[in-house]
Structure 1
Amino acid sequence: MTRQPSRPRPLTARVPGSKSITTRALLLAAAAPGTSRLWAPLISEDTLAFREAVTGLGARVAPSPGDQYWDVTGTGRGPVGTARVWCADAGTAARFLPPYSATGVGTFTFDGSAQLRARPLGPLMRAMAGLGAGLDAPVPGRLPLTVRAGGLEGGELTVDSSMSSQFLSGLLMAAPLMRQPVRADLSDSVSRPYLDMTLSLMRRFGADVKETAGGVIEVRPGGYRATALVVEPDASTASYVFAAAAVTGHRVTVPGLCGRSVQGDLRFTEALRALGAEVEITDSAVSVTGTGTVRGGFDLDMGDISDTFMTLAAVAPLADAPVTIRGVRHARFKESDRIAAVAQNLRACGIRVDETQDSVVVHPGTPRPARIACHRDHRIAMAFSVLGLAARVPLTLDDPYCVTKTFPGFHGEMARLFPDYTVPERP
């Protein structure tokens, strides 16, 4: 499909900090002795819940005026004492903090919203029990979870991470606080770029991490050290403004992202190249320019960057041929069943979608007005907002402000960049 804008406009997007980096850095700083300064952290519901959680486990967090940075003073060890930790909707808190708490001494209870209680934790719990953690969960494999901590021994780490790499990330970040070296085979893990991000940040905070040629990781005891870290803009969040540029014919630049980014979701730009957009990646920014042509007819494995598959699927109806996205079965276990949610909403817009357990094929079509079921999932809301803008069709989000989970200013920023964007009314 060819779209010629009246006049291409160069735009600079204000994309907030990476949630993945912010939450990992909060945990690592909490585990390190001394004070770490985290510059440009993401301020959102999930990261504020995570910040409150690590504070409840013994760290001190002092935000600067305007939240330009957070000073996190850690303890240099696992938590000690008793705490009830509210994770709200934050899956990272529920997956990262129980292993960390198990390296300490005390009793720590984790709970969250109804949405978070529905998300699986069984593989993490089984792996923690295998390392010697004492666990109580009224509903097996679900929150609430009580950890009766007395330290973890270490050794061979076995965890089923086919649903989420966060299980393994949480255990790896706890590993430097265990008594013996920890070894883990990452070769069959989903979302490997997120594990690479975890390992990179662990090294940045002083952990002793080695990797063999066969993909086996060894983490030795020794803990962490305090450090200063600048949080990059969120590459997953940037996918929405990049996709909007690609299908509206504008040029959007996100400063602060670069080719050295630790975020695997920057690879979403490869999907936009396949669509026909021009992509420029420098040492200081990433730019995407729409060419007026939106191509389809390609097949893309997005298993490693599944948080962005909804972005591509949402704009795929505007392409000139079907787009196949595969390898994303684990996206069914996120805030919503994202494959089903994408298919349901595209069909509501009159678009043909073929769905399997781990893939979708989106066919070209002209979207019609529809009500979008967000399923309290921020990424569904943001992805379909891009489709509504690009197709110039009224799409009504049933929960437009679920975007506060990761990008509270999303609708305002889209309207600043794209004057045709309609900001939803607040409930």
Structure 2
Amino acid sequence: MHADPLPRTARIPGSKSITNRALLLAAAADGTSTLRAPLVSEDTLAFRKALTDLGATVRAASDESRWTVTGLGGAPRGGGPVWCADAGTAARFLPPFTAAGRGTYRFDGSAQLRARPLRPLVDALDRLGARVRADGGGLPLEITATGLDGGELDLDSSLSSQYLSGLLMAAPLLRTPLTLRPEGLVSRPYVDMTLALMRRFGAGVDAYADRVTIRPGGYRPHALDIEPDASTASYFLAAAAACGRAVSVPGLGTGSLQGDLRFVDVLAKAGARVSVTAEGTTVAGTGRLRGGFDVDMGDISDTFMTFAAIAPLADAPVTIHGIAHARLKESDRVAAVTANLRACGVRVDEGPDRITVHPGTPAPARIACRRDHRIAMSFSVLSLASGVPLVLDDPACVGKTFPGFHAELGRLFPDLLPGGPGGPGAPGGPGVLGAPGVRTSVEEGE
């Protein structure tokens, strides 16, 4: 393996986290907002459809490169069903938005989304005076809204930061100021992103170390360029580090709103050369991965799987901790990574909030994606970097955040495909669907 003299440029779609937050803020604004380079994926389209069902207007350019959103000038009115599909952000962000309005709203989603917890959010809305019915503490739930007053609220944020973000974004639509004190907050960078975007749309925000106070006043329309998705970029940057190549992501640099860009610090710890400038980020592999360290990835837990998947290729064990809340995502991600690495013959020690991955040569295996896009993407990188064929049982699940993932991985690393460019592992090659170097079968996930 060797470092490329010139980095290859990855085509990373827009941030899902920024796209869905900006959609909601634009839908609440009094006027018309423009979102440039939004992510077009299953999650964002489900979120967009839910907002149009609530009365906002979203017009997309013919190539989907620009969405024009005409807002409601406040919270929704009228009520009705809201389908969240698989989108966790829809289930966590939209109930507070509707609770600030008027009408009866019935939320539901896929079986996978129904299994994800909502109890801290339901309890918070109940304490603010909303009428919420949620049998079992999750979806389906019903909200009967007559508007909300603010006040002061302690919020259990140990399971997900999205409960806090949802309440924060609804707060400017309340009748009086709202002060939120998060308890056990995980993934704080996502809350910082929420607050930064709220300010751009004109919200009055006073943030302190232990609490946030939001003043009433609604939102103003705004034109926003959406930066590339840092979580999605992690797969291509990790592939560069593990394969001894160089990859650049333009537009994802020092001004990023996304905490997951800190993933490159983990790659640097593992020996990769990293450059982050105002223009973008570049990672260059050196031909070997260093291990022998512990790393807390709690604040960037959407990328822990990326690093765990390439960790067997390091020269010493790696321990990743602070990731207990990752068990409550699209799947139990700690258990999923552990089981799949063990299926590859890799030794893994698992704890409630940590895993230790030992060096090893992966063996061909069947990867259980559990309908989780991040599991499929992470193990695609392991297959590419190790040269070992892996079978993804649900390659299409990457459509949740990046429908073009498999093709882009093949475009960036065509010479690492089995048989070279156009070989059996290439996109469009014989008998293969999906990731380069990864054999896939189209079967339903868990």
Would the TM-score normalized by the shorter structure come out above 0.5? yes
1:269-290 Cα distance to aligned partner (Å, 9 max, x none): 0000011000001111100000
Q: Note the C-alpha offset of 1:63.
A: 0.4
Selected match of 2:312 from 304, 317, 326: 317
Please report how far the alpha carbon of residue 158 of structure 1 lies from its aligned counterpart in structure 2 after TM superposition: 2.2
The residue number in structure 1 matching 2:153 is: 157
Task: Give the alignment partner of residue 236 of structure 2, picking from 235, 241, 244.
Answer: 241
CA contact (8 A) 2:366 2:393 kept: yes
Matches within 5 A, 1:171-320: 171-186=167-182, 188-212=184-208, 214-320=209-315
Q: C-alpha displacement at 1:65, in angstroms?
A: 1.4
CA deviations 1:187-225 (Å, max 9, x no partner) are 63100000000000000100000123x332110000100
> Are 1:102 and 2:99 an aligned pair?
yes
Counterpart among 37, 45, 59 of residue 62 in structure 1: 59
- The question of whether the paired residues in 1 share the 8 Å contact of 2:273 and 2:284 is answered with yes
**1:86 corresponds to 2:83:** yes
Q: Does 1:329 align with 2:324?
A: yes
**Structure-to-structure mapping, 1:390-405, within 5 angstroms:** 390-405=385-400
Q: Structure 1, residues 249-293: CA drift from partner, whole Å, max 9, x if none? A: 111000110111010000000000011000001111100000112
CA contact (8 A) 1:187 1:216 kept: no
CA contact (8 A) 2:155 2:181 kept: no
Cα offsets for 1:377-424 (capped at 9, x unmatched): 000000000000000000110001100000000000000001124345
TM-score w.r.t. length of structure 1: 0.97
Q: In the aligned structure 2, how far is the partner of 1:5 from the partner of 1:349?
A: 25
| Contact 2:271–2:289 (CA under 8 A) maintained in structure 1 | yes
| Residues in 2 aligned to 1:10 and 1:75: alpha-carbon distance in whole angstroms | 45
What is the CA distance between 1:7 and its match in structure 2? 5.7
Q: Deviations over 1:268-323 (max 9, x none)?
A: 00000011000001111100000112100010000000000000000000000000
CA distance in 1, matches of 2:3, 2:219: 54
Contact persistence 2:3–2:287 (CA under 8 A): no
- Quote the residue 1:425 is aligned against: 433
1:75 counterpart residue number = 72
Give the alignment partner of residue 385 of structure 1, picking from 380, 389, 392.
Answer: 380
Structure 2: state its 5+ residue gaps: 418-424, 435-441
Q: Which residue of 2 aligns with 1:347?
A: 342
Identity of paired residues, percent?
65
Q: How does 1:8-19 map to 2 (within 5 A)?
A: 10-19=7-16
The Cα of 1:5 is off from its aligned counterpart by 3.2
Q: Which residue of 2 aligns with 1:357?
A: 352
The superposition leaves residues 155-208 of structure 1 with CA deviations (integer Å, 9 ceiling, x where unpaired) of 112221111000110001000001111111246310000000000000010000
Coordinate RMSD, CA, aligned: 1.1
Cα distance in 1 between the residues matched to 2:57 and 2:182: 33
Which residue does 2:405 correspond to in 1? 410
Deviation at residue 82 of structure 1 after TM alignment:
2.0
Q: Mark the runs of 5 or more structure 1 residues left unpaired by the alignment.
A: none
How far has the Cα of 1:6 moved from its partner?
A: 8.5
Deviation, structure 1 residue 351: 0.3
Distance 1:6 1:313, change over 3 A: closer
Is 2:48 the counterpart of 1:40? no
In structure 1, give the amino acid aligned to 2:66.
Y
Q: Secondary structure at the match of 1:291?
A: coil
Q: Distance in 1 between matches of 2:125 and 2:77?
A: 18
Contact kept in structure 1, 2:318 and 2:358, CA below 8 Å = yes
CA separation of 1:366/1:9 partners in 2, compared to 1, >3 Å: closer, same or farther?
farther
TM-score norm. by structure 2 comes to 0.93
- The number of residues matched between the two structures is 422
Partners in 2 of 1:154 and 1:235 — Cα distance?
34
Quick one: distance in 2 between partners of 1:208 and 1:398? 47
**Secondary structure of 1:65 counterpart:** coil
Structure with larger RCO (C-alpha < 8 A, sep 6+): 1
| One-letter code aligned to 1:312 | F
- Tell me the distance in 2 between the aligned counterparts of 1:98 and 1:158: 18
Q: Sort the Cα spacing of 1:386 and 1:200 in 2 relative to 1 into closer, same or farther, 3 A.
A: same
Deviations 1:302-346 (A, max 9, x none): 000000000000000000000000000000000000000000000
Counterpart residue identity of residue 27, structure 2: A
Query: 1:30 touches 1:73 (CA, 8 Å); kept in 2?
Result: yes
Following TM superposition, by how much is the alpha carbon of 1:9 offset from its aligned partner in structure 2, in angstroms? 5.5
Question: SS state of the match for residue 222, structure 1?
Answer: coil
| Alpha carbons of structure 1 residues 77 and 7: separation in structure 2 relative to 1, 3 Å | closer
Q: Which amino acid aligns with 1:375?
A: R
